[in-house]
Amino acid sequence: MKIWLDGGLQDMESARVSVFDHGLTVGDGIFETMKAVDGRPFALTRHLDRLTRSARGLGLPDPDHDEVRRACAAVLEANPMPLGRLRVTYTGGHGPLGSDRGEHGPTLVVAVGETVRRPDTTAVITVPWTRNERGAVTGLKTTSYAENVVALARAHEQGASEALFGNTVGELCEGTGSNVFVVLDGQIHTPPVTSGCLAGITRALVVEWTGAKETDLPLDVLERAEEVFLTSTLRDVQAVHRVDGRELADAPGPVTAKVMRVFEERAGEDLDP
């Protein structure tokens, strides 16, 4: 397996970053996960734009889009696979012990792994911990994912594949690695980014392609929504058949099934040539 590091391809087994890289010591880094279909990254420009927004939010230098594009192409060419999960990691780089950044500049790593298409439906839980909708790094795709790791482990313990967070004012927010949509009176709604959720790229495409509304929703909307579904790069659009103890037996319901069809039909439009 070849990865991109320090401006070129390297063997994954021998590639090394500093043990004092701030991505490791203080979680000072950002990332993107992209899908690659037969070696073609999906929605690459949108991912690069979000990477830049996250970098600016953390005060990291703007990532060089040309380099990231070259890195993705090189990694995909060196590791052919039908469905890949590309991971771009961009950190504060090697620095002193403590939170001040060093002068070495950022570390860019691009790697790919095989992935598989997710099942059409899944179970989710809600967790008692909250997303902070007004934090310094809210909405940035940072490498500080420990909270998500803990919540996801809780979901797995309970036979679910995703954990959903509310925010500090009791509104529905997002999952550990996905955005959430609900159907109410036949209308599709998803929390706005002011809820503290990540501006998911799949979420944005679903909003654009279906006219779903961005609405502040109380967390308990999950107890009465007609349908619930998740969106993410690796899930695409995935129906929810259980939320905590509540079964949504007919999932995917008619509205979700239509969104899944629309997404599948249009997703090819955003594949990198």
**Footprint on this chain of ligand PLP (rule: CB under 6 A):** 33, 174, 177-179, 198, 200-203, 231-233
At what angle are helices 254-266 and 201-210 packed, to 10 degrees?
A: 110
Q: How far is the CB of 185 from ligand PLP (least distance, A)?
A: 25
Q: Which residue, 28 or 174, is less far from ligand PLP as judged by CB?
A: 174
How many Å apart are CA 25 and CA 27, to the nearest integer?
6
Report the nearest approach of ligand PLP to the CB of residue 165 (Å): 9
CB 36 to ligand PLP: min, Å:
13
Judged by beta carbon, residue 49 or residue 250, the one nearer ligand PLP is: 49
Q: Which two tokens stand for residue 100?
A: 């001040």
Residue 222 — left, alpha, or beta (φ > 0 → left; ψ -120 to 50 → alpha)? Answer: alpha
Largest CA distance in the chain: 56
Angle at 85 between CA 241 and CA 141, to 5 degrees: 80
Shortest distance in whole angstroms from residue 204 CB to ligand PLP: 8
| Least Cβ distance, residue 259 to ligand PLP (angstroms) | 14
The minimum distance between CB 57 and ligand PLP, in angstroms, equals 14
Closer by beta carbon to ligand PLP, 6 or else 114 = 114
Considering the complex, what minimum distance in angstroms separates the CB of residue 142 from ligand PLP? 10
Would you say 178 or 238 has its CB closer to ligand PLP?
A: 178
Structure tokens that stand for 134 in this block: 């007004």
Of 269, 195, 262, the closest CA to residue 231 belongs to 262
- Specify the length of the chain in residues: 273
Give Cα 206 to chain centroid, integer Å. Answer: 15
Closer to ligand PLP by Cβ: residue 161 or 178: 178
Rounded distance, CA 127 to CA 153, Å? 11
From the number of C-beta atoms within 10 Å of its C-beta (0-12, 13-18, 19+), residue 50 rates as buried
Q: Which residue is nearest to ligand PLP (CB)?
A: 200
Select 175 or 252, whichever has its Cβ closest to ligand PLP: 175
Of the candidates 169, 177, 221, 220, which has an alpha carbon nearest to the alpha carbon of residue 195? 169
Q: Given the DSSP bridges, would you call strands 2-5 and 107-114 parallel, antiparallel or unpaired?
A: antiparallel
Distance (Å, rounded) from C-alpha 104 to C-alpha 54? 20
- Residue nearer to ligand PLP on the CB measure, 33 or 52: 33
